[in-house]
Structure 1
Amino acid sequence: MNFNLRTRLSFMMFLEFFVWGSWYVTMGTFLGANLGARDQDISLAFSTQSFGAIIAPFIVGLIADRYFHAQRILGVIHLIGAGLMYLLYQSDDFSVFFPLLLVYMILFMPTLALVNSISFNQMKDPAKEFSIIRVWGTIGWIAAGILISWMAWDSQAGMANGLLRNTWLMASVVSVILGFFSFTLPQTPPRADRSTDFKLSELLGLDALSLLKHRNFAIFFISSILICIPLAFYYQNASPFLTEIGVENSTGKMTLGQISEVLFMLALPIFFSRFGIKKTLIVAMLAWAARYLFFAFGNADEQVWMLLVGIALHGVCYDFFFVSGQIYTDAHAGTKFKSSAQGLITLATYGVGMLIGFWAAGHISDYFLIAEGDHDWKSIWLIPSGISVLVLLFFMSLFKEEKIKPINNL
């Protein structure tokens, strides 16, 4: 891949995740501070990601794979998304905000597959080339968080003046840039044969359900769904938690999670090949339990280091479970179910698992609401920590060690 093409694809990834990171991290804080949303309202807003993940295969599989060029769909979606982001920027009531966000996420979630498809279509050796492109997405997310904190939109003074609302305007502007830029990307024509019959089971990855006949894969599949319940607590509650207890520049500090994600992504192939799939997944689940313990007992003063460690553990939590899980799924799927199996795992985790998690996090946060804008965060964080331990014990007792061929370049 020549330098010009690599630069264009990297810029695409940077913008894609900059748009997402511009508002997703601080949405819970924004809804509480600007729209007076309750905890259950906030959980409903975050659940739009799950609804988008469930519906995404229809858009990608039925439209992008069969009828239109991927780069053109990407451009159209982001231009529409820019308009929706601007309307969200102007929203003053949750009843108006939620349906706009739901439509946006149904459109946005398929773009995560589209940017991958556009990239893979230009690569001769994706195993070696994709990580170089994809890492710019993480850098884009980090840049958005640092920019928000640098402009003090997430500070106590910034929120008091309603500046956190600007995150939606920033996402709208960048989405316009990505929308027009997408039309300049390399041609990525549809690959599916339109003459063949449309199969819903194949689109959703349901034809890969036969893999559940393998005991180990079934245990991994169930554990993947269950571990997404505590994961939802982090996405939904971390920013409001840090803001409420008085951590300044919290959005910038939360980019430590993405920085660690890059570092542990590089360490994963070594760990995976040396210790195997079971130990890798166990370390990930231990990290989930540990991070929530750090959140439970940390504070914004002398124990702030505990909060920073908890954030930095995101790399272990995400890479060691989800990325290694993708490798494990690919190894079990074989050629026949390679795409279907990944689709099934995505539907189960980001769809079903996190939908349950967001619902639970909303109800639990509401239950431990002491007063307006004041929660019993210690009790809240101990619950996902306990759930992580239970999932860990379930996995350790039933999953048998097995050897699979590791991927040395992610």
Structure 2
Amino acid sequence: MIRARLSLMMFLEFFIWGGWFVTLGTFLGETLDASGREIGMAFSTQSWGAIIAPFIIGLIADRFFNAERILGVLHLVGAVLMYRLFLAQDFSAFYLTVLIYMILYMPTLALVNAVAFRQLTEPKREFGKIRVWGTLGWIVAGLAISYVFAWDGAAAIDAGALRYTFLMCAVASLVLGVYSFTLPATPPKAGAAGTSLGQLVGIDALRLLKNRDYAIFFVASVLICIPLAFYYQNANPFLAEIGVANPTGKMTLGQISEVLFMLALPVFIQRFGIKHTLLLGMLAWGLRYLLFAFGDSGGQVWMLLLGIALHGVCYDFFFVSGQIYTDQRAGERFKSAAQGMITLATYGIGMLIGFWVAGWITDHYSQANGHDWQTIWLLPALFALAIMVVFMGLFRDASSASRSSETAVHSEE
């Protein structure tokens, strides 16, 4: 029974995020007439949320409140903010609201994990089966937008129908907010008040950077977030603009592949090692964008679908295996601090830079009748491949992370 309740929590958590984040760039560009830089600013609110989240969780939630209660409050407030996004008529009003929303939403990713881990008797064995429902929630949201409500068709986008994604997510956030108060009590951890600021944001793990190989991996992780930002920001507007039918529904192929490749990841790491796993992840980013650059909505649409389906390799083989590598290098004492450091560096700093770069390049290659998408995709493709070549030459760590492979569970899509 408890597993079913936790699975529903995860489903709603990621249904909310997937229900508006995927189509955000298309909505802003087509409905609010936002520029590429403005769209980049809106997406970068995820990064600001990731940077601030440890302070909300570590300095407030973990010390004074039950996790399920703060989760409920944040989602109830989030429902109001989502409704305000539904009503927003210009970018300035939208940006301020989405910034506040993401500062409040990003901490809930850690909160749902905390609730789940505290209620499971064998979290290492059981958590993956709970977490997969989050991915399913993201997939269902995308399928609903394309195939149930048809909000992402060309005529529907012109009519402003994507605005209703925020209303849908406001309702889901309201449901999760109320539902959270029915979850089992998850009180503050004993000793949480003694957690230092350095532990919360990962400063205590900076000593890992003294290791040459880990420092190379760390820099590569930040840099590869620049190509990653191009996908989040531009994939849906690109597919919609070139006339691909049901683009949001088709993008759920990425989450489906993510689940499948997650199952293959531990086996691949054990057989080929962490270096080759990371290299394959970086290669997949470059290949994906080359497919986007030369694909089209007609006879070459298979290239676009294959590029989307590579998401599982792109994300799992680099970011999840990177979490495993970090866990292995950190040692028992600094595991939590190390994960906090790499998350802050990638989803905070790296993605913040990435969204700025993606917004600038998208504006630079904007045309009267759309965008020069081939150039827009070729640039991150070449950048990702360049990072891969440098990483291949400099990174020499051949140690296996197979002993930590059971930790291959992530908290974001």
**Residue aligning to 2:395:** 399
1:32 matches 2:29: yes
1:62 partner letter: L
**Cα distance, 1:216 vs structure 2:** 1.0
Query: What whole-Å deviation, never above 9, does each CA across 1:346-370 have from its counterpart, x for those lacking one?
Result: 0000000010000000000000001
**Residue aligning to 1:239:** 236
**Residue aligning to 1:377:** 373
How does the TM-score come out when normalised to structure 1? 0.97
Cα distance in structure 1, aligned partners of 2:99 and 2:198: 24
1:94 matches 2:66: no
**Cα distance, 1:316 vs structure 2:** 0.2
Query: What whole-Å deviation, never above 9, does each CA across 1:195-225 have from its counterpart, x for those lacking one?
Result: 63x6322221101000111111111111100
**Taking structure 1 as reference, are residues 279 and 84 closer, same or farther at Cα in structure 2, changes over 3 Å only?**
same
Percent identity between matched residues is 63
1:277 to 261, 274, 278: 274
1:224 matches 2:228: no
Query: What whole-Å deviation, never above 9, does each CA across 1:166-220 have from its counterpart, x for those lacking one?
Result: 0000000000000010011111111153663x63222211010001111111111
Cα distance in structure 2, aligned partners of 1:327 and 1:125: 19
> In the alignment, is the contact (CA less than 8 A) between 2:36 and 2:359 conserved in 1?
yes
> In the alignment, is the contact (CA less than 8 A) between 1:225 and 1:353 conserved in 2?
yes
Cα distance in structure 1, aligned partners of 2:129 and 2:232: 26
> In the alignment, is the contact (CA less than 8 A) between 1:330 and 1:341 conserved in 2?
yes
2:342 to 332, 341, 345: 345
**Residue aligning to 1:329:** 326
Cα distance in structure 1, aligned partners of 2:50 and 2:392: 29
Cα distance in structure 2, aligned partners of 1:401 and 1:200: 30
Query: What whole-Å deviation, never above 9, does each CA across 1:28-75 have from its counterpart, x for those lacking one?
Result: 000011111111110000000000000000001111111111000000
1:159 partner letter: I
Corresponding residue SS for 2:64: coil
Structure 2 residue ranges without an equivalent (≥5): 409-413
Q: How do residues 63-102 of structure 1 correspond to structure 2 at under 5 angstroms?
A: 63-102=60-99
**Residue aligning to 1:355:** 352
**Cα distance, 1:161 vs structure 2:** 1.8
Query: What whole-Å deviation, never above 9, does each CA across 1:100-157 have from its counterpart, x for those lacking one?
Result: 0000000000001111111111223222111100000000000000000011100011
1:120 matches 2:117: yes
Cα distance in structure 1, aligned partners of 2:192 and 2:337: 18
> In the alignment, is the contact (CA less than 8 A) between 1:65 and 1:192 conserved in 2?
no
**Residue aligning to 1:261:** 258
2:26 partner letter: T
Q: How do residues 56-205 of structure 1 correspond to structure 2 at under 5 angstroms?
A: 56-150=53-147, 151-193=149-191, 196=194, 199-205=196-202
> In the alignment, is the contact (CA less than 8 A) between 1:14 and 1:136 conserved in 2?
yes
**Residue aligning to 1:7:** 4
Q: Report runs of 4+ in structure 1 exceeding 4 Å deviation.
A: none
Corresponding residue SS for 1:300: coil
1:208 to 196, 205, 208: 205
Corresponding residue SS for 1:396: helix
Cα distance in structure 1, aligned partners of 2:65 and 2:202: 21
How does the TM-score come out when normalised to structure 2? 0.96
Cα distance in structure 2, aligned partners of 1:194 and 1:227: 33
Query: What whole-Å deviation, never above 9, does each CA across 1:361-406 have from its counterpart, x for those lacking one?
Result: 000000000115x000000000000110111012111111322341
1:403 partner letter: S
**RMSD of aligned Cα (Å):** 1.0
1:317 matches 2:330: no
> In the alignment, is the contact (CA less than 8 A) between 2:54 and 2:201 conserved in 1?
yes
Structure 1 residue ranges without an equivalent (≥5): none
Cα distance in structure 1, aligned partners of 2:192 and 2:64: 8
Query: What whole-Å deviation, never above 9, does each CA across 1:301-352 have from its counterpart, x for those lacking one?
Result: 0000000000000000000111111111111111111100000000000000
